[in-house]
């Protein structure tokens, strides 16, 4: 009987665990370790953040789902990795510490034949002084944070209804942030809600970002082929921001968030501050690097984890300038090069470099969007790695060829809400293929013009609302869940 | 004497409603197209 341990129950981990269990049945064990009791459909946290949904609508408890599927579930955080086993047993192991009420703080050691690291990001609010819910800004990264953001927004709306002008700043709380798409969604949803409440005229709404130009989204921007010709995502976004009267601060690294003031630098050397009454600023991500030892107890963490805490996989990590970045640098199998029974998927794997060209301020601070790993590629990676592991178990061959899911050969759809409402809502629906540009196959723009597309409209909002229902249905493992694509 | 003012208002309201419905019909069509575009993406080999 083989044991697969999955660290993390987000999109990548939960998908991996469900597909693995479905294919292996009762003959083998699938174990999930997650510090969270609930699954969260993160894309809808934006709507929680503007009061259009509650936290309950975007989360559900994991334990009953895993029990029904026959997946062993430990509500715990991983605190150590022993890929060579220990003195008593050469089988790989992960040390965990329980986070549920009954066993909080208690340790355990779980053995594995295969490990899928899907821990997601560590939210590093601490990298910018004053950033985050414990500081002076709000966040929408978790359903809890988003609930707080909604309450703060309500206070600001109340002040505007009393006749007071308010300044709202939304964007990136550090020059190396990712998830620009989420910040974009949030600023437009805030704008939409302010209009619904009849107070938009009293609001200065500002989008503060580390992107070099609007429409970059951490993927180097896109070029859409339309009937009228080609249009860049920058042109597309500029017209949208202008239409909605949202001011933009580009190329910025936030250095500090004080009470009511955000301090930032820009790549042209500008050092400035922006006063605010409400600020939603996303944190930079790092990986959840685990203390890792060999059988003798010697630290070998740097063999598995990059300096940024993400796990190294089959990518080319040689440092090289932007001009030498290539699609070939990106991983295909997500297998650790050191331990072939260890995989990292979703945000947990270490990308070889960014996708967008990196910049820095004259003082050396990064203004370099990190590469996004959104739901679609994360879910696909989780499923494909699960299939690799299942192949190896079923054929009793630990070195059977791995299946592939390269972001340079995979497309993604991003539906960015710009306002919720069955008749009044809208979303920007974007497809791009491949996610990571491949200039060898597509010399002109790096992407396939037939599959790289953008459209704004009410239909996009209906689609996003449908995906909310569909993916929660799928994550709850309701009948036919496997028929819903990642 | 026909009440032209009411008729004009009624016509304007009907025209507005017709525009609203044709907008919704167009969006319904776009909804189907967007779903098909995304489904096509999910069938890619990678």
Give the pLDDT confidence of A394-426 residue by residue, as tens digits. 999 999 999 999 999 999 999 999 989 999 899
Domain boundaries, chain A: 3-123+285-394
B46 and A486 within 8 Å at the Cβ level: the answer is no
**Measuring CA to CA, how many Å separate A460 from each of A130, A232, A410, A416?**
36, 19, 21, 8
Between A12 and B4, residue with greater pLDDT: A12
> Mean pLDDT, to the nearest integer, of A359-375?
96
Percent of chain A with pLDDT over 70: 100
Give the number of domains in chain B: 1
Cα–Cα distance, A6 to A59 (Å, whole number)? 20
A406 and B46 within 8 Å at the Cβ level: the answer is yes
Rg (CA), chain A: 22
B38 and A431 within 8 Å at the Cβ level: the answer is yes
- DSSP assignment of A150-184, as one string? HHHHHHHHHHHHTT--EEEEEEESSTT---HHHHH
- The Cα angle at residue A424 between residues A423 and A429, in degrees rounded to 5: 95
| Architecture of the domain spanning A3-123+285-394 | 3-Layer(bba) Sandwich (3.50)
CB A49 within 8 A of CB A69: no
**Interface of chain A against chain B, CB under 8 Å?**
380, 384, 404-406, 409-413, 423, 429, 431, 433, 451, 453, 455, 457-460, 462-463, 485-486
Cα–Cα distance, A153 to A187 (Å, whole number)? 12
Residue B44 is predicted with a pLDDT of 78
SS3 label, residue A135: coil
Q: Which of B30, B40, B44 sits opposite A459 (nearest CB)?
A: B30
Phi, psi of A32 (to 5 degrees): -115, 135
Residue B9 is predicted with a pLDDT of 55
CA B16 to chain A, closest CA, distance in angstroms equals 15
Characterize the bridge pairing of strands A72-82 and A271-275: unpaired
Q: Which of A384, A423, A485 sits opposite B42 (nearest CB)?
A: A485
Please determine, for residue A178, whether its predicted confidence score (pLDDT) is greater than 60: yes
Total beta-carbon pairs less than 8 A apart between chain A and chain B: 49
> Mean pLDDT, to the nearest integer, of A17-33?
97
pLDDT band at B45 (very low <50, low <70, confident <90, very high): low
List b or e across A29-48, with b for residues whose CB sees 16 or more CB atoms inside 10 angstroms: bbbbbbbbbbbbbbbbbbbb
Residue B19 is predicted with a pLDDT of 65
Characterize the bridge pairing of strands A59-61 and A38-40: antiparallel
Query: Taking all residues of chain B, what is their mean pLDDT, rounded to a whole number?
Result: 75
Residue A30, beta-bridge partner list: A4
Residue A225 is predicted with a pLDDT of 81
CA A250 to chain B, closest CA, distance in angstroms equals 31
A463 and B35 within 8 Å at the Cβ level: the answer is yes
Cα–Cα distance, A273 to A256 (Å, whole number)? 9
Percent of chain B with pLDDT over 90: 33
Cβ-based contacts of B44 with chain A (< 8 Å): 409-411, 433
End-to-end CA distance of chain B: 73
Query: Taking all residues of chain A, what is their mean pLDDT, rounded to a whole number?
Result: 96
Residue A468 is predicted with a pLDDT of 96
B46 and A409 within 8 Å at the Cβ level: the answer is yes
Residue A227 is predicted with a pLDDT of 75
pLDDT in tens, A220-267: 999 998 777 889 999 999 999 999 999 999 999 999 999 999 999 999
The chain B residue lying nearest A458, using CA atoms, is B27
> Mean pLDDT, to the nearest integer, of A371-400?
96
Phi, psi of A342 (to 5 degrees): -120, 130
List b or e across A292-316, with b for residues whose CB sees 16 or more CB atoms inside 10 angstroms: bbeeeeeebeeebbbebbbbbbbbe
Cα–Cα distance, A158 to A129 (Å, whole number)? 28
Residue B13 is predicted with a pLDDT of 62
Residue B43 is predicted with a pLDDT of 82
Characterize the bridge pairing of strands A223-226 and A229-232: antiparallel
A462 and B31 within 8 Å at the Cβ level: the answer is yes
Q: Give the range of the structural domain holding residue B42, as residue numbers without chain letter.
A: 1-46
Exposure of A345 in the CB half-sphere (CA atoms within 13 A)? 36
Mutate to test the interface with B, among A226, A425, A459, A462 (most CBs of B within 10 A): A459
pLDDT band at B22 (very low <50, low <70, confident <90, very high): low
Residue A228 is predicted with a pLDDT of 78
Cβ-based contacts of A460 with chain B (< 8 Å): 34
CA B4 to chain A, closest CA, distance in angstroms equals 32
pLDDT band at A128 (very low <50, low <70, confident <90, very high): very high
> Mean pLDDT, to the nearest integer, of A185-193?
96
Residue A484 is predicted with a pLDDT of 95
B46 and A410 within 8 Å at the Cβ level: the answer is yes
Cα–Cα distance, A431 to A66 (Å, whole number)? 32
Query: What secondary structure letter does DSSP report for A435?
Result: S
pTM: 0.94
A463 and B28 within 8 Å at the Cβ level: the answer is no
Closest by CA to A382, choosing from A118, A16, A8, A41, is A16
> Mean pLDDT, to the nearest integer, of A192-203?
97
CA B20 to chain A, closest CA, distance in angstroms equals 10
The chain B residue lying nearest A455, using CA atoms, is B34
Exposure of A29 in the CB half-sphere (CA atoms within 13 A)? 14
Residue B5 is predicted with a pLDDT of 58
CA A425 to chain B, closest CA, distance in angstroms equals 12
């Amino acid at each position: 009987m083989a044991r697969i341990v999955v660290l993390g129950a987000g999109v990548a981990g939960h998908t991996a665990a469900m597909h693995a269990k479905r294919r292996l049945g009762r003959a083998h064990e699938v174990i999930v370790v997650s510090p969270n009791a609930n699954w969260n459909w993160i894309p809808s946290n934006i709507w929680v953040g503007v009061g259009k949904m509650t936290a309950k609508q975007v989360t559900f408890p994991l334990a009953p789902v895993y029990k029904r599927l026959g997946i062993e579930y430990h509500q715990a955080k991983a605190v150590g990795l022993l890929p060579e086993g220990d003195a008593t047993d050469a089988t790989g192991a992960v040390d965990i510490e329980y986070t549920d009420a009954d066993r909080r703080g208690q340790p355990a050691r779980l053995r594995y034949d295969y490990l899928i690291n899907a821990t997601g990001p560590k939210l590093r609010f601490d990298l910018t002084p004053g950033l985050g819910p414990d500081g002076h800004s709000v966040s929408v990264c978790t359903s809890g944070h988003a609930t707080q953001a909604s309450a703060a927004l309500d206070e600001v709306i109340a002040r505007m209804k009393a006749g007071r002008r308010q300044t709202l700043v939304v964007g990136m709380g550090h020059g190396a942030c990712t998830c620009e798409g989420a910040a974009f969604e949030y600023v437009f949803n805030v704008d939409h809600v302010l209009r619904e409440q009849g107070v938009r005229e009293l609001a200065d709404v500002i989008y503060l970002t580390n992107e070099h130009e609007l429409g970059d989204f951490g993927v180097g921007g896109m070029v859409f082929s339309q009937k009228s010709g080609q249009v860049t995502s920058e042109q597309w976004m500029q017209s949208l921001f202008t239409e909605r009267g949202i001011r933009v601060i580009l190329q910025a690294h936030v250095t500090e968030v004080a009470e009511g003031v955000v301090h930032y630098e820009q790549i042209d050397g500008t050092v400035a501050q922006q006063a605010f009454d409400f600020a939603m600023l996303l944190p930079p991500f790092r990986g959840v690097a685990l203390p890792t030892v060999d059988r003798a107890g010697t630290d070998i963490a740097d063999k598995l984890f990059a300096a940024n805490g993400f796990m190294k996989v089959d990518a080319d990590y040689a440092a090289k300038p932007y001009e030498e970045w290539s699609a070939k640098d990106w991983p295909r199998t997500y297998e650790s090069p050191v331990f072939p029974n260890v995989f990292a998927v979703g945000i947990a794997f270490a990308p070889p470099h960014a996708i967008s060209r990196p910049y820095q301020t004259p003082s050396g601070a990064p203004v370099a969007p990190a590469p996004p790993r959104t739901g679609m590629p994360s879910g696909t990676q989780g499923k494909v790695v699960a299939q690799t592991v299942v192949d190896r178990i079923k054929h009793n061959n630990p070195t059977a060829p791995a299946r592939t899911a390269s972001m340079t050969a995979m497309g993604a759809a991003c539906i960015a809400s710009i306002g919720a409402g069955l008749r009044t809502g809208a979303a920007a629906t974007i497809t791009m293929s491949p996610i990571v540009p491949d200039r060898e196959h597509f010399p002109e723009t790096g992407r396939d013009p037939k599959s790289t597309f953008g459209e704004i409209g009410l239909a996009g909002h209906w689609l996003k609302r449908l995906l909310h229902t569909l993916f929660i249905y799928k994550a709850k493992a309701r009948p036919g869940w496997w028929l819903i694509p990642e | 004497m026909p009440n032209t003012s009411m008729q004009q208002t009624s016509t304007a309201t009907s025209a507005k409603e017709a525009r609203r419905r044709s907008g919704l019909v167009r969006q319904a069509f776009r909804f189907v197209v967007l779903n098909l575009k995304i489904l096509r993406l999910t069938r890619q080999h990678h």
